[in-house]
Each structure stands twice: as C-alpha cells, then as structure tokens.
Amino acid sequence: MSARATVEAAVKLGLTAEEYAHIREIQGGEPTYVELAIYSLMWSEHCSYKHSRPILGRFPTSGPRVLQGPGENAGIIDVGDGWAVAMKVESHNHPSAVEPFQGAATGVGGIVRDIFTMGARPIISLDSLRFGELDEPRQRFLFDGVVGGIGFYGNCLGVPTVGGEVYFEPSYAGNCLVNAMSAGLLRADKIVRAKAAGIGNKVVLIGSKTGRDGIGGASVLASQEFDETLEEKRPSVQVGDPFTEKKLIEACLEMLGGDLVVSMQDLGAAGLTSSSSEMASKGHVGLDIHADRVPLREADMEPWEIMISESQERMLAIVSPARLSDVREVCARWDLDCTEIGEVTDSKMLRIFWHGERVGNIPARRLADEAPVIRTPSFKPDYISDKPVAINTYERPDDLGAVLVELLAAPNIASKRWAYEQYDYIVQANTVQIPGSDAAVLRIKDTSRGIAFTIDCNGRHCYLDPYRGAKAAVAEAARNLSCAGALPVAVTDCLNFGNPEKGDMYWTFEQAVEGMAEACEALDTPVVSGNVSFYNESFGKPIYPTPVVGMLGVYDDVSIHTDQRFKDDGDVILLLGPDSAALDGSEYQKTMFGQVEGRVPDVDLALEKAVQRVVRDGIARRLVKSAHDCADGGLAVGLAECCISSGATGGAAFADPDRVGPSRARFRGADVEIKTTLRDDVALFGEGPSRIVLSVAPTHLPAFRQLAGELPLAVLGRVTGAVLRCTIEENVLIDLPVGELSEAYESLPDRLD
C-alpha cells in the first residue's frame, strides 16, 4: 500500500475537499488508502443518493399492503393469501453505453439478485429502454446489443421477461437508458432483510470469484494515477454469467427457505464494501472482513481493489457457526464457491484485514447512512413554456389515413415484437398475458389470484413539463393495469436525470418527484423501492428527464382480466374519458411536424381515478370485453392497435398475431364516428390522459353506461369487418384495411437491417 490517502488522492477518487475533511474528522486523522477508497465509493452519488435523498422523502411510502418500503434491496407488497411480491427497478445506463450486450445483461443480473436476496423467487422481469434515433447505425447497434443482453441473461435464468417499453429520441443518443425491473414471489412471513446480527456469526461470500470488474464503476478510480502498473489495473467490463446466477438463485432460496442463514445481501455497486457496511449498519453491529480470504480471479489484487470490485454473481450471507456446514453443503451441491471471510462483532466498526493486519477501520453507520447531503439551488429552465402552441401553427395534413400509417410505423409506436420475441416470456408457467397488450399478467399458482405489471414513462412529456409528465407517467402506468382489470397497488421507480449539480436540471428532478408523489398519493400506489440515475448527459447535453414508473397490480381472481383485442363483430366501441387531447408533446407533433414544444396537458387525478375504477368494475362484472389505454399516437392509434392485435388465432390465450397462414382474415375492423370539439387531426392523434378505448357486447351497453355514471363516455361505433374507418362530421378520415395497418405496425425490423 504505497499510496497516501491525501486530499489530492481523495479528489481523484471523486470526493470533495469538504468530504475529505469530514472523513478525517470521522477517522480521527488521515485515513488509510483502503478507507479512502471505501468512502469514495460509499459517498458517491450512486451509493449515497446525496443529491436525491432529501427530495425522495416526498414520496408516499406506506399503506395497508406495504410490508417493506424503500430502504431494503426491494420493496414488498402483500398480495393476499399470505403471498407477497418483492419489486424493484434499477438503471444500468452507463455500462450499457460502453458495452450494450454485457451492460444490459449484468443489469438484469443485478436486479434479479435484489429480488432473491429478500427471499423471493424472481418471477418476472421488465425492461425500459431508450436510445437515439434508429437511423444512426450506432443506435441500432446499441438497441440490438441491449435487447440481446437482456434476453441472454433473463432467458438463461428462467425468469420470464413479460413487458417493457422502448423509445427513440435524439436526447438519448449519447446516453442510452437501460432500466431493468424485476419482481419475485414470497410468503409474507418469510421476508429476509439485509441486516447482520449475532455477534460471532460468520460472514460468508458465495458465488463467483472476484476480479477487477468495474472497479470504481461508481466513482472515478479508473482515472487514478496509481503507479506504473495502471494499465493492468484498469477496470474491466463486467461480463455476466447467468449460469452461475441461476445456481445462486436455487442455492440461496434453498438456504433461506431452510433458515440456514441469518441474513443475506447481494454484492452490487461498490461490491463487498457496500454490502458489508450496509449489513453492519442496519444490524447495529460491526463486521470484520479478511480481504485476503476472498477467492480471486486475478492473484495480484490489492485489498482496496478487493473491497470495491463489482464482480457479478456474488452474495454475502451471515451464518451462525452451527449452520456453516449446512451452508457449505448446499453450495457444494450447486457447485458454488463458499468462503468464510469474516465475522460479526459488537464493535459497530467495519474492519478490513489483510493477512492479519488491520488496513481499514470505519464506523459502519457513519459510512453507510451518514453520507453528506447536497441540495443544489434550483431554477426553472428557460425552455419550459407555460403556453400551448396555437393549433393553427401546424397545417392539417390532407390525408389523415396516411398519417395513421406513418404513426403506426414510427419506432416509438410500432410493435416491439422484434425485441420481446427475443425474450422467454412464458417460462415458469404463470404467464396469462404475453407482451403486446397494456400490461403483463401472471397467475399465482395454487390460488385464484393474479398480478399485473407495467413500466411506463413518456420522456417527451417530462421534458416539456417534468411535473405534469411524471404525474402522467404514474397515471398511465395505473391505467395500463386497470385496462387489464388489475387494481394498481404499488410503484417502483427509476429516476433518470442529467447532472444534479446544475440548478436547472435539479429543478426538473424536484418537479418530477413532486408530480409522481401527488399521483401516487391520489391513486393509492405508494412507492416501495426505486433507483436514481444522475449524470445522464453527453457533451453537456442532458437526456430528457425520465422518471420511469414500474407498477404492480393485483387480482383476487385472475380469470377476470382482459386485453386490448377487439373480440367480436357487433361489439360496441366506447371512449371512456374526456374529449380533450393535445398536440403538444405528442408523437404526431414530433413525427409529422418535427417539433417537441408547447405545454402538455395536466392529469386530473380525481377523474383519472374514477375512469380507472369504472374500467376495472366493468371488467370485473364481465361487461367489458376489451380495454386499451389511449396513449402515444392518440385515439386513432389506440383504435388501430385494438384492431391489429385482434388478428390472433385461438382464444384469449393466443394474443399473438400469427404471421403465418390465413389468420389475417380474422382481423377485426371498426367503424367509428367521433364527436369532438377539437380540430379533426388533433381529435385523432392528440394525446391526453384518462382516456380508454373499450368494447362491450351491445346487450351490456346499458349496464356499462350506468356504471360510468357521470363520467364522459362516448359511443364511437362498432367492431365490424376488417377495415378501420373513422368519421368526423360525415367526413371519412381514415378508411384502411387492418392488414395494411398491421404491416405498418410490424415494420420495426425493416429499420434495423
């Protein structure tokens, strides 16, 4: 250990001079290099949430179903019959920008570990992805690699990837977003928390060997001029090994199920450092770690490297001495390394040893939970407008049918089948609704219950107004679940923003959190877990503020669900929700006019809640045969999607248009007439919240009307034929075979060659 832990060294590690002074004060003098490296990681933005912690306090986090709120590896929600769901979303943006396949793969690996660490069996993954525009080869390379990596990892694990979203906007060109969400099922009385306990208990490291993977991934150690062997010490890209993770899932769940371990924690960002200090801090105990006992992939690693390595597929367990041999036995059966590397002490200190010599000694609580807090003085960016764009700024295109075809083919709206067909969405035999409708639906085996998931955010709306956009993201996620018949109950979020040290950026962050918080309060969907990813900028240009919302919904009886497909000729098509839609921030504005400007509409949360309740009640009473959220592309795109996805063979089970054979003949068309006060193109393609397209059998119309009560409800027309026809004031604006619409909608692969 040649290097001195001076203030210069600290700054190179990404700490500020004040933080260094604070560290000196805690340590009572100059820290050792190991200590400094540990502080630099734990007090990095990524690990300490120093810019976001005070703001995140705004979220509602409790409720009757919340068994575990934020602060653990995943949030946990009671879903009935003694079952609970653990859920979490996390970003892996920067690793994916460097190496898309491995970056995305290890992102899935990390989030899945967060789930089974809690004692839950991972049962679903979702992915929320953002890239630049597809006409750039680099963006196609990233998209291809990221989707490949997600599939590679999740498919091998046998965790189905059943939902997600993909957007393409220039603002993500230099900084793609790869957010991975996962959820798991566990018994409500079997929650495992990452809390070390039991003085004298052993600290056991399970899984892969430790290499120099991603050292300093969370800080700037990579640029540290350490000594002449810098080249060899450069951090390595993390490579995912899903096979080892699959064995870890089985072995860890076996150990947790058999009460062989006291507690468990995965090694994520900052590796052994964060896992051990957090476990010690939560348990109000100390941990002694013998870094020299850690099995290494590269023999010449130094203690500080070992402590902060981010090698994948590793778990830390606290085991009582009496259970040690049982734990070893399980690991041996699964061919996993299992090494006792330390012990629980009453010192409340994280102590690091290297061949018997103490090389680090840090108060665990101060390290893990008392990182400095920073609040950047914020101000509203200039570009934000509080006026909608005057409608006559944009000339109405002549052929609105052609507009519909163009919008359906726009990468943001087009079917993402190319992506989700690379994912095993059916393994584990729980999938009720595959990708291609509003929400992923799973059953819970041996019960009548079910759960639904979605992940949503419209970054363009959040750019134009982060408060309204974030609020709308929560509302849309809930609407997607309600359209499937599920009751929305909880949120996990991934807040992707630019540099938090900039006041205008910080303002967008504050606004977004406020919008999300209000919506979560109104819709009774507490935030139970989440992740913040800052510094998403390239060449000084930030991404759109992108607060991604992952949401869980529940069913008492999962057989009562529906999807977006029009089912039978003669069914009545309804629009539930207001006749208000805006051009500002819409896909129509961007695709047809090349603009992203104006003022996006605000969600009326009371109305939103009422609309969703009516749809759920209608589904529960089996009045509603199909329901679809009107989001990107507006009413016309929503109607087209209901028609296109009807081209399935078989029953509800086969919500999958068969591209082979004559089944296209089974497409359901629609004949609708829209009564509106808006300009006709805005009525068709404008976007606004709280609007749902649904279909009911004619005999059920009166009952549904009654259910809707005072809410705005328009009869649009009928399911009929194989053509989508839309009329406004006797002008037939769209009159196109569904087959043709489907072709446009399925055209994403053509852009990828």
Ligand X SMILES: Nc1ncnc2c1ncn2[C@@H]1O[C@H](COP(=O)(O)OP(=O)(O)O)[C@@H](O)[C@H]1O
Q: Which residues bind ligand X (CB under 6 A)?
A: 127, 129, 161, 163-166, 416, 419-420, 435-438, 456, 480, 629, 631-632
For residue 182, the minimal CB distance to another protein (Å) is: 15
CA distance 649 to 658: 7
Q: Which is nearer to another protein, 443 or 502 (CB)?
A: 443
Q: How many helices (H) and strands (E) does the chain have?
A: 25, 28
Contacts of 571 (CB under 8 A, 6+ apart): 625, 626, 695, 696, 697, 698, 718, 719
Binding segment (CB under 8 A) for another protein, from list 149-157, 252-260, 522-530, 634-642:
149-157
Q: Which is nearer to ligand X, 163 or 688 (CB)?
A: 163
Structural contact between residues 714 and 722, judged by C-beta atoms closer than 8 angstroms: no
Would you call 207 helix, strand, or coil by DSSP? strand
438 binds, among ligand X, Mg ion, another protein, none (CB under 5 to 8 A by kind): ligand X
Which residue intervals of 99-184 are DSSP H helices?
A: 100-117, 137-157
Binding of residue 654 to another protein (CB under 8 A): yes
Among 1, 17, 21, 98, binds another protein (CB under 8 A): 98
- Hey, what amino acid is at 271? G
127 binds, among another protein, ligand X, Mg ion, none (CB under 5 to 8 A by kind): ligand X
- Hey, what amino acid is at 131? F
DSSP secondary structure code for residue 252 in this structure:
H
148 binds, among ligand X, Mg ion, another protein, none (CB under 5 to 8 A by kind): another protein
Binding of residue 662 to another protein (CB under 8 A): yes
CA distance 76 to 118: 9
Structural contact between residues 163 and 61, judged by C-beta atoms closer than 8 angstroms: no
For residue 624, the minimal CB distance to ligand X (Å) is: 16
CA distance 683 to 581: 7
Binding of residue 214 to another protein (CB under 8 A): no
Q: Which entry of 51, 92, 561, 700 is annotated as an active-site residue?
A: 92
Which residue intervals of 425-494 are DSSP H helices?
A: 459-464, 466-483
Here's the x/- map for another protein, 152-191, by CB under 8 A: it reads as x--xxxx---------------------------------
CA distance 612 to 622: 15
> Which of 370-406 are b and which e, b meaning 16 or more Cβ less than 10 Å from the residue's Cβ?
ebeebebebeeeeebeeebbeeeebeeeeebbebbbb
Binding of residue 421 to another protein (CB under 8 A): yes
For residue 416, the minimal CB distance to ligand X (Å) is: 4
Binding of residue 236 to another protein (CB under 8 A): yes
CA distance 651 to 554: 23
Binding of residue 134 to another protein (CB under 8 A): no
Binding of residue 433 to another protein (CB under 8 A): yes
Instruction: Judge residue 606's burial from the number of C-beta atoms within 10 Å of its C-beta, 0-12 exposed, 13-18 middle, 19 or more buried.
Output: exposed
Binding of residue 102 to another protein (CB under 8 A): yes
Map 288-354 to HEC letters.
Answer: EEEHHHCCECCCCCCHHHHHHCCCCCEEEEEECHHHHHHHHHHHHHCCCCEEEEEEEECCCEEEEEE
Would you call 265 helix, strand, or coil by DSSP? strand
Q: Which is nearer to another protein, 420 or 463 (CB)?
A: 420
For residue 296, the minimal CB distance to ligand X (Å) is: 36
Binding of residue 443 to another protein (CB under 8 A): yes
431 binds, among ligand X, Mg ion, another protein, none (CB under 5 to 8 A by kind): another protein
163 binds, among Mg ion, ligand X, another protein, none (CB under 5 to 8 A by kind): ligand X
Among 299, 322, 390, 429, binds another protein (CB under 8 A): 429
649 binds, among Mg ion, ligand X, another protein, none (CB under 5 to 8 A by kind): another protein
Binding of residue 660 to another protein (CB under 8 A): yes
For residue 432, the minimal CB distance to another protein (Å) is: 6
CA distance 554 to 80: 9
Residue nearest to ligand X (CB): 164
Q: Which is nearer to another protein, 155 or 219 (CB)?
A: 155
Here's the x/- map for another protein, 515-534, by CB under 8 A: it reads as --------------------
Q: How far is residue 295 from each of residues 337, 645, 702, 752, measured CA to CA in Å?
A: 8, 52, 70, 43
Residues lying near Mg ion in the complex (CB under 5 A) are found at 631-632
Binding segment (CB under 8 A) for another protein, from list 40-48, 144-152, 254-262, 379-387:
144-152
CA distance 343 to 246: 27
Q: Establish whether 22 is a catalytic residue.
A: no
Q: Which is nearer to another protein, 70 or 163 (CB)?
A: 163
Instruction: Judge residue 598's burial from the number of C-beta atoms within 10 Å of its C-beta, 0-12 exposed, 13-18 middle, 19 or more buried.
Output: buried
What does the binding site for another protein look like in residue numbers (CB under 8 A)?
Answer: 98-99, 102, 148, 151-152, 155-158, 208, 211-213, 232, 236-244, 246-247, 297-298, 311-312, 333-335, 420-434, 443, 445, 559, 649-651, 653-656, 658-663
Residues annotated as part of the active site: 46, 92
